[in-house]
Structure 1
């Protein structure tokens, strides 16, 4: 899951994005096999084995504003706006920290480390970045499956 760039360009209101993230959090939590009586602000502990689906959040990539191909994108998708929208993600408590439901795939870090030559428009990166994210997903699933053995 992930939708920050689309919202930055088309919705443009970070507060509305935050509300959407809260709704998404409720839906995702309803899919988890944990009773609502549990406090999800901390990790679930104990000896009971609970199967849980794996959810991943596709983080927003590094934006290179000077490469944006339209004035609208340069205006609406600035680094300052990126920071506000990314802050809404943190505030939503969606990401996998202390029992949250979604594991962050840090596309910003991957895109920054792959370099600017991996994008033609400063926001959409070539397959190498997303292939790295797929490997992260597969490794996370592999680690989880071996821990259950």
Structure 2
């Protein structure tokens, strides 16, 4: 009996000690959920109190080949595996949904939305990437302030976020697609604030970042990306590159300003950059677009993103590679040569989430 009581006491210290310490941080910035409470909840629900709620990333819902090849909770401490999983996280493939499934599953969703996505088998087998359902997403993002800012590509990513978080967005759809407008939704039950900011130019994003710094507030996750409007209405890619450098500088101030936040808080802000989609000029309905939004021009704009080091290897932000995803889906996934099936943006959203899990050294499967 003495041994049993001693074991229980030690287990309580191991489990609840970190929970008490994490609680202080979580009350200040819930994005730390990615690096703290998720692991604690998994440990408690799986190893200590099995009568708690179903554990996050429950292996019983996985395909048999994944469930039989689980990794340990410290798997992503292995730098080689972590780097492999980060570099392969965009390895996604798309397929058309057959007609019976289409009628049943997505009859009320986004137009031309008859595609589904999945990670390629080898990358999935090695890294155990996960598709979240609504319950998982609510648990993971609880207490988080998420801002998605940019042009119509960013708006479609925001729609994917709303689709994941809410039971239905049909009543909200007219507002989500209202031309050139912002949109904000506060899910009070889980304290999740989601904002879309219409910001089609780099200068819009720069002012937004400066405003956060001046107001001494920071979203937990900022996803941004522009370029299409600049390409269409200006076409001066070197000017675009210079504006990216200014934006990068302002985002750096936002991350590291000692006046508005401690260094520990600043490091919790997660930044992602959406690059341009793969363009299909043959599908354009506008002569101006055919003239200015060429494949060659798109490559020049992409080079400016890399040159500015705002994203990519060693960049300030994590690259959300819409170009690769849209290329993989192909012209069958787009009607206008610019905007793609919602499956592309749903895949991008899950890439963000899995990227956060990996970079914070969390394994998705307990």
**Are 1:112 and 2:327 counterparts?**
yes
Q: What is the CA deviation profile of residues 61-120 of structure 1, one whole-angstrom value per residue up to 9, with x for unaligned ones?
A: 11111101101001100011111111111111111422x211111111101111211111
| Cα distance in structure 1, aligned partners of 2:325 and 2:335 | 16
Question: How many residue pairs end up in the alignment?
Answer: 133
Give the match for residue 41 of structure 1.
none
Q: CA RMSD in A?
A: 1.9
Give the match for residue 74 of structure 1.
290
Higher Rg of the two aligned structures: 2
| Cα distance in structure 2, aligned partners of 1:143 and 1:87 | 27
Q: How does 1:1-149 map to 2 (within 5 A)?
A: 1-33=224-256, 51-98=267-314, 100-147=315-362
| Cα distance in structure 1, aligned partners of 2:303 and 2:321 | 14
8 Å Cα contact 1:33-1:52 kept in structure 2:
no
| Cα distance in structure 1, aligned partners of 2:295 and 2:359 | 35
**3-state SS in 1 of match to 2:318:** strand
Query: 1:126: how far off?
Result: 1.7
Name the one with the larger strand percent: 2
| Cα distance in structure 2, aligned partners of 1:146 and 1:88 | 31
